[in-house]
Amino acid sequence: MTRAIARFTDAIVLLARLGAGLAFAVLIGTVLIQVIGRSTGVSAVWTEELTRYALLYMVAFGAGLALRTGDLVNVDVICEHLPSPIPWLLRLMCAIATAGLAIFLLAGAWRFTSIGAMQTSPALGMPMTYAHITVWLLLLLLAVFAALRVIGMLSRTEDGLPTQKTTDPG
């Protein structure tokens, strides 16, 4: 079972990285179009909206990854210096609370997303559902990454500490 969870985790991490990377590429390309347009005096109105939406997608895909790597705000200065097993229990409780809150908010985020079907963006003319879905996606991925941490901690395959970022591609 732990092997299946590890494969699922790897797939979710890859999906989130690809999503964040694609959103970042769109953001870079759109800003480049903005800069060139402003330099030549021919500015495209739609670039402002697209940069905002790309940023929303980048955050939506990156929040779960940030939880995984410890890049979200952490208050562990005191917690990690407490006697064992208290730090482990606190990390478990935080992961359960994060997953629970994100799951609880999913229904409201979906209602918010459905409202976007009745609205269109002014410059791009696309349904706002495509922008609003980022809130739901952020919560979903945050819930999944927190739940995977809980599962890993309870199965003793991880200690709940953030994974270390690797800078070496090899």
pTM: 0.85
The 3-state DSSP class for residue 160 equals: coil
Residue with tokens 């791009």: 124
β-pair partners for 120: 127
**57-98 confidence digits (pLDDT tens):** 999 999 999 999 888 777 677 777 888 888 889 889 999 999
Inform me whether the pLDDT recorded for 22 exceeds 50.
yes
* Residue 162 CB neighbours (<10 A): 16
Residue 29: pLDDT band with limits 50, 70, 90: very high
CA distance 167 to 95: 26
- Average of per-residue pLDDT across 138-167: 86
Encode 126-150: b = buried (16+ Cβ within 10 Å), e = exposed: bebbbbbbbbbbbbbbbbbbbbbbb
* Residue 94 CB neighbours (<10 A): 19
Inform me whether the pLDDT recorded for 158 exceeds 50.
yes
Consecutive H or E run containing 82: none
Q: Which residues contact 146 (CB under 8 A, 6 or more apart)?
A: 67, 95, 96, 98, 99, 102
